[in-house]
Amino acid sequence: MDEMDAVTDVRADAMRWEAAVLSGGPADGVRLRLTGRPSVLQVSHPCRVENAPDDMQIAALHIYRRDLKVKSEPLRYGFDGVSP
């Protein structure tokens, strides 16, 4: 395999859609499809605000980290309750 073929293979793997599931936290059980096997996912949930300036939006953020022991679909992402 030459260098160009290796680059093409890496790009093809990064573009392949895979199933994943979130475990724990507020998005427990949510299933999704993603590419590139990101190590961290950020889930946001809008919050209601009072007396906020026009167009201000506030969201609660929840962090999910990929379980590196899981090598096949569905990939698993666990809730990280201590992340800011």
The two three-digit tokens of residue 73, written as one number: 């679909």
Tokens of 31: 């299933």
* Residue extents of the structural domains in the chain: 3-80
Residue 44 β-bridge partners: 61
Edge-to-edge strand ranges of the sheet holding 31-34: 31-34, 18-23, 75-80, 58-66, 40-47
| pLDDT for the residue numbered 15 | 79
Query: What is the distance between the alpha carbons of residues 38 and 76, in angstroms, rounded to a whole number?
Result: 11
Residue type, 30: V
**Tens-digit pLDDT profile for the chain (84 aa)?**
566 565 556 566 667 999 999 999 999 999 999 999 999 999 999 998 898 888 888 999 999 999 999 999 999 999 999 876
The dihedrals phi and psi of 65, each to the nearest 5 degrees, come to: -110, 140
